[in-house]
Amino acid sequence: MLALVACGGVSSGTTNPTPAADVGSGQLQGAGATFPEPFYTRAFYAYNQKYSQVSVNYQAIGSGGGIQQFTKGTVDFGASDVPMTATEIAAAGGDSTLVQLPTIIGVAAIAYNLPSVTKLQLDGTTLASIFLGTVKKWNDPAIQALNNGVSLPGTDITVVHRSDGSGTSYAFTDYLSKVSPDWQTKVGKGKSVSWPVGVGASGNQGVGQQVKTTDGSIGYVELAYVIQSQLQYAYLKNQAGKFVQASLDGATVAAASLTGISPTNFSITNAPGDKAYPISTYSWVILRLDQADATKGKAVANLWKWAVTDGQQYGKPLEYASLPKEAQDFALSQLKKLTSGGKPILS
């Protein structure tokens, strides 16, 4: 301080601190996918630590629920692991009223509960047969053929699936539809489908808990929940013929195979590449194009601008892959469309 005074830096007795960034303010309400919840929870906390004037209350109620709440106008953003369909967009007011942007990449692991089997290998055809109910026992020849030398129990397989509208279900059924003509014909893909067999549970956490407490069960669960709950998860045969476990690296390779990402071109399941994990997916957020509340609108735009750039770092420790540059650029271009009072919110 003495040195500064001597140099005339504070001779007036006052300082001129750098103004805090104007990122808007308010408590933001969001709802939707359980798939990205661990990432969102960590990222939103970090953002609030950086900008205390902005807080986020996120309710993980499933992608279908998030779209419904967004359509009703009860939240500032909806979250879904699959972009809205044309019908859903129309119900929400039409294309001219909203934007959709990717926020993070994750993977759905195939969790199972067989303590005696430390390594389980499956392929898409066999996995589809399990969820169709045509492969019913763990020692079925189809499973045994993929696991030479492994002693598989002769117990029944308990299938666990989502009971709520789910983007994780969309990614899983999208994958099965690509690798199994039977699945494509009999069930197809969607956030909600008519499951041929099994028991339902709500959210990724619910499916994970059901698998963890049910001997002989199998289900699809976002990897962050699998790691947190210390669940067993299978090696899945990818398009290149390699058996790979769900991983951040596997998601990164899968995402690299897609060019021209948009809400109508987004699927990265069954992607090519020796290390690509077959059930990888982008997660998305849905925002109103015109933000009625200018201050809160600025908070929404800046939150997501940060989340798709600097905030990506918070995904890696939770086994989420960062957006590739093309997806990041697309997300930023969508955010620049947001307006309030007829004026762009972001420069």
Pairing relation of β-strands 232-233 and 121-122? Answer: unpaired
Specify the pLDDT at position 21: 83
At 344, is the secondary structure helix, strand, or coil?
strand
Q: What is the dihedral of CA 153, 158, 159, 161, to 10 degrees?
A: -140
Fold of 27-105+281-344: D-Maltodextrin-Binding Protein; domain 2 (3.40.190)
pLDDT tier at 20 (50, 70, 90 boundaries)?
A: low
Question: Options 3.10.20.90, 3.40.350.10, 3.30.70.360, 3.40.190.10; which CATH number does 107-280 get?
Answer: 3.40.190.10
pLDDT digits (tens, 9 = 90+) for 95-126: 999 999 999 999 999 999 999 999 999 999 99
Given a contact cutoff of 8 angstroms between Cβ atoms, the answer to whether 291 and 265 are in contact is no
Residue, of 14 and 88, whose pLDDT is higher: 88
Rounded mean pLDDT of the chain? Answer: 94
At 100, is the secondary structure helix, strand, or coil?
strand
Would you kindly state where each structural domain of the chain is located, as residue ranges? 27-105+281-344, 107-280
pLDDT digits (tens, 9 = 90+) for 179-232: 999 999 999 999 999 999 999 999 999 999 999 999 999 999 999 999 999 999
Same fold, 27-105+281-344 and 107-280: yes
Given a contact cutoff of 8 angstroms between Cβ atoms, the answer to whether 99 and 89 are in contact is no
At 343, is the secondary structure helix, strand, or coil?
strand
Q: How far apart are CA 271 and CA 182, in angstroms?
A: 20
pLDDT digits (tens, 9 = 90+) for 271-281: 999 999 999 99
Which strand (E) or helix (H) includes residue 160? strand 158-162
- The answer, yes or no, to whether residue 70 has pLDDT greater than 80, is yes
